[in-house]
Amino acid sequence: MSDPLRVLIVDDHQLVRSGFAMILSVEDDLEVVGEAADGAAAVAQARALRPDVVLMDVQMPGTDGIEATRQVVAEDLGRVIILTTFDRDDYLFDALEAGASGFLLKNSDADTLVDAVRAAAGGHALLAPEVTRRVIERMTAAPRPSAPGMPPAPDRGGPTSAAAREGVAGDPGYALLTEREREVVVLVGEGLSNAEIATRLFVGEATVKTHVSNCLAKLHLRDRVQAVVWAHRAGLIPQGE
């Protein structure tokens, strides 16, 4: 039996931390190894404990969750899932740029939280639908500094404008993708899971997993979160989807 996934919980409210810890502690494959009440303590705890996943609040006194996420990701101390009440869109946007692997609302159910931890530890991401939609809208609406591998938001002349197509076609990474990998990155951008992509393309889920990994590597993207944003910024996803 493999070792349980190690989780660090960061939130400035004790009751919130206790609630999340209670949910996770009943799972045999998950272990809460520490808690922190602010960003500075979170980074220190991550350095000492080396968790697989950090559940990170955004609004905290002192060092906030965005700066803490940036430091945790830069030092490769664990994957970060942002937990938020979603009252500040710009916090979510900045956290993605800082390297967060996923976003969940604090009122998500227990199964969603557990699934997100497992997904993040496995190199994937689980995003609350509300977060996915609003983050994509913000990230494709106007140019911003891009994370490594990210194209700037295109000046769209339509759902898949010529300008956007030309931009993505000129991306060295995109040029390396096979036709099947190009299909896969579009479906990832539409928010489909590996199982859903497998059904759509009539291939095995293991094959899809390989294609997704190849796409991330060739496009220099960290995870599916960046792949979703990349596909939208590149103009591969019609507006409104």
Per-residue pLDDT reduced to its tens digit, 150-183: 444 444 344 344 434 444 655 678 888 999 999 9
pLDDT value, residue 189: 84
Q: Is the pTM of this model over 0.85?
A: no
pLDDT at 218 over 70: yes
pLDDT in tens, 114-158: 988 998 888 776 666 666 666 666 655 655 444 445 444 444 344
Q: Is 13 helix (H, G, I), strand (E, B) or coil?
A: coil
CA distances from 113 to 118, 143, 230 (A): 9, 32, 25
Q: Which of 6-10, 54-58, 228-232 has the lowest mean pLDDT?
A: 228-232
pLDDT value, residue 27: 94
pLDDT at 30 over 70: yes
CA dihedral sign of residues 201, 204, 207, 213: positive
According to DSSP, the residues that pair with 13 across neighbouring strands are none
Q: Rounded to the nearest 10 degrees, what angle do helices 110-121 and 14-25 cross at?
A: 80
Q: What is the average pLDDT score of the chain?
A: 81
Whole-number CA gyration radius for the chain: 18
End-to-end CA distance of the chain: give it in Å, rounded: 41
Domain residue ranges in the chain: 5-132, 142-233
The verdict on domain 5-132 having CATH code 3.40.190.10 is no
pLDDT value, residue 153: 46
Task: Identify the CATH assignment for 142-233 out of 3.40.50.300, 1.10.530.10, 2.40.160.20, 3.40.50.2300.
Answer: 3.40.50.2300
Task: Give the C-alpha separation, 235 to 51, whole Å.
Answer: 36
Pairwise pLDDT comparison (76 vs 90), residue with the higher score? 76
Pairwise pLDDT comparison (184 vs 101), residue with the higher score? 184
pLDDT in tens, 97-106: 788 888 888 8
Cβ(78)–Cβ(117) below 8 Å: no
| Within this chain, domains 5-132 and 142-233 share the same CATH topology | yes
pLDDT at 221 over 80: yes
Q: Is 32 helix (H, G, I), strand (E, B) or coil?
A: strand
Which two structure tokens, joined as six digits, stand for 186?
């579009």
pLDDT at 21 over 80: yes
Task: Give the C-alpha separation, 99 to 226, whole Å.
Answer: 9
